[in-house]
Structure 1
């Protein structure tokens, strides 16, 4: 799961932390291996035209294609650098979201007024989870897949107090 609870299970302590991040199917070292292998496979057919003017006609397009793949993967990787941290202590719940552009968004509410809500079809994504408390409602884990959001919802429901607003 692309989220991790602090060392203590939340139902056994009043202080806990939850960190969430998007799933990464391509790690940094794998990124380098992928670009290297793609470059080798693309440049391999150029051995047949080595020494001829055809090489100079094909080479710029192959290098442009390789550079475009690198750029697209790099941009995708940067956009996925999101981290959400939910810290709960005896009195407060504090959610911090670190966005890819460096912007930090924060939300804080009284722990005992925070409620977890699941929007199976109503939100921008399936099984959309929000935390409601204080004067705002904020999303959490929107980058997770629907099954992960459902599991997270169940865990958050058991970790936070009962919803008295219903």
Structure 2
């Protein structure tokens, strides 16, 4: 799962949820893909060694490798999203760090915070939002459908248990 619940030691009876996009291609795999593409794309050039046709094809083949490199790097850059939700008995605080480094945050009283799942009508199916303090914010829109459904259940349970001091902590 590309999210994790933790219990910070500094804040008693609190929970912290950290969400990040799933990376299906790690950096080591990135290097392997670029190297394999370069190797395979040069195979048709071997019979052309020593001819003028080599120099006619080489720039276009290298452009393909450069385009693949740029596309994968862009995917990594766009995937630098991090959402951190901190739940305490008094406040619910969500901080979203966008790919460019700017942050957005939302705070409300935990008692009034509620999670909602929109089966349709959102930018993605099973869209999960948090509502409170007069605002509605999205959470985990980059997760898969199954992960958003699971997140919604866990989030609703955590909000209920944090707001109710009689509920025992796991």
Say whether the fold is shared (TM-score over 0.5). Answer: yes
Where in structure 1 are there 5+ consecutive unaligned residues?
none
Report the alpha carbon displacement of residue 26 of structure 1 after superposing the two structures with TM.
Answer: 0.7
Paired residues, what number? 159
Q: Secondary structure at the match of 2:111?
A: helix
4+ aligned runs moved over 6 Å, structure 1: none
* TM-score normalized by the length of structure 1: 0.91
Q: Secondary structure at the match of 1:161?
A: helix
Q: Secondary structure at the match of 1:150?
A: helix
RMSD: 1.6
Q: Secondary structure at the match of 1:43?
A: helix
* Match runs of 1:1-166 below 5 Å: 1-7=1-7, 14-161=13-160
Q: Secondary structure at the match of 2:143?
A: coil
After superposition, what is the alpha-carbon deviation per residue over 1:50-105, rounded to whole angstroms, capped at 9, x for unaligned? Answer: 11111111100000111011111111111111110001122111100000011100
Report the alpha carbon displacement of residue 39 of structure 1 after superposing the two structures with TM.
Answer: 0.5
* TM-score normalized by the length of structure 2: 0.89
Q: Secondary structure at the match of 1:112?
A: coil
After superposition, what is the alpha-carbon deviation per residue over 1:124-163, rounded to whole angstroms, capped at 9, x for unaligned? Answer: 2100011011121100000111111000000011110289
- Distance, in Å, in 2 between the alignment partners of 1:157 and 1:122 is 20
